[in-house]
Each structure stands twice: as structure tokens, then as C-alpha cells.
Amino acid sequence: MGRKRCIELTDAEQLTLREGIKYHPKHEFRRSCQALLWSHRGWSVKTIAAELEVCQISVSRWLTNWQQQGLVGLMRQKGQGRRAILSLTNTAHQQALTQAVAANYQDAGRIKTELEKALGQSMSRDTVKRFLKKTITLGTDFGGPPSLFRIP
């Protein structure tokens, strides 16, 4: 059946975790809250992992993080996750984007190719689109009329 690793929760902690399941915007956080509640009810790590479709190591980490850090341990910490390929704060990225857009206005595929050549790093067309949207949101002007700039 799996190794039993049950945690004890107070009524206030159970309420907090239920609220986290209902209202927290991050799916990963909601799953970890659910795992803690199931562990409190006596479910094994293996059963919880199977139900949530995650590996047992993830469930064990959630339980350990809860015991060591409390609710904060369930949240994604700064520096975790995949690193961004393109950064708004990197001037080389901004300059390469400005030149690529100036040469290939309204063509995300060609802009992608230009950025890959300039930066020496492969990326997807969707990455370029997201980066363009971020720069447009900040009001960066690429020399063309903003009303005509659309991402194909």
C-alpha cells in the first residue's frame, strides 16, 4: 500500500489548507495543500502521488517542506523554475529585438531567426511572441505605428 507518513494538522491549519485549495491562483500550491490534507487523513505517500499524478518524491518534499517551513514551504521560491530565454532587463536582448523588428516588421518567424543569430541561442516562435507582448506592454516603440503591430 505504501509507506505511511502522516502529518498532524490543527483545525486552523486544515482550514488554511482548504482555503488554499479553493482560492490560490497556482495549481502546484493547490495540489500540495490537497496532499497535506490527505496525509492528515492517513493516506500513504504512494496513494497521494497516484491520485494527484505526481511522483512520490514531490509528495514527500511537500510534507517535509510543510514540517520545516509551514505554509511558505509550499510556495514556489524565488529562483525556482525555468530560466527565461529572453529578458527585458538585458540590453543585448532589447537591442537585438529592436533590430530584428525593424528589419522584419510583423513577421514573428523571421524575428525569431534574427534573434537566434544575434544571441546565439535557439528559441521557439512562441517565446518571441511572449517577449514582444511584454515589450509592447511596457510601451517600447519599434519605429512603426503601434496600431499596425500585430503578432501573426
Verify that 17 and 67 share a domain, yes or no.
yes
Which tens digit of pLDDT belongs to each residue from 100-136?
Answer: 888 887 888 899 999 999 999 899 999 888 888 888 7
**What pLDDT is stored for residue 3 in this prediction?**
56
**pTM of this structure:** 0.56
Domain assignment present for 47: yes
Q: Are residues 70 and 43 in the same domain?
A: yes
Number of domains comprising the chain:
2
- Domain hosting 70: range is 11-74
Phi-psi group of 60: left, alpha or beta (phi > 0 → left; psi -120 to 50 → alpha; rest → beta): alpha
- Do residues 100 and 62 both lie within one domain? no
Give percent above pLDDT 70 in the chain: 86
- Which residue, 27, 47, 74, sits at the end of a domain? 74
If you average pLDDT over residues 38-65, what whole number do you get? 94
Please report whether residue 46 resides in a domain.
yes
Tell me if 108 is assigned to some domain: yes
User: Contact 145/137 with Cβ under 8 angstroms?
Assistant: no
pLDDT over 80 at 47, yes or no = yes
Whether the CB-CB separation of 92 and 86 falls below 8 Å is answered with no
At 56, the pLDDT band (50, 70, 90 cuts) reads very high
Tell me whether residue 101 is in a domain.
Answer: yes
**How many Cβ atoms sit within 10 Å of the Cβ of residue 58?**
17
Q: What is the pLDDT of residue 37?
A: 96
The whole-number pLDDT of residue 139 equals 54
Query: What pLDDT is stored for residue 105 in this prediction?
Result: 79
Is position 124 within any domain?
A: yes
Cell of 8: 498532524
Pair (97, 66) in one structural domain: no
5 within some domain = no
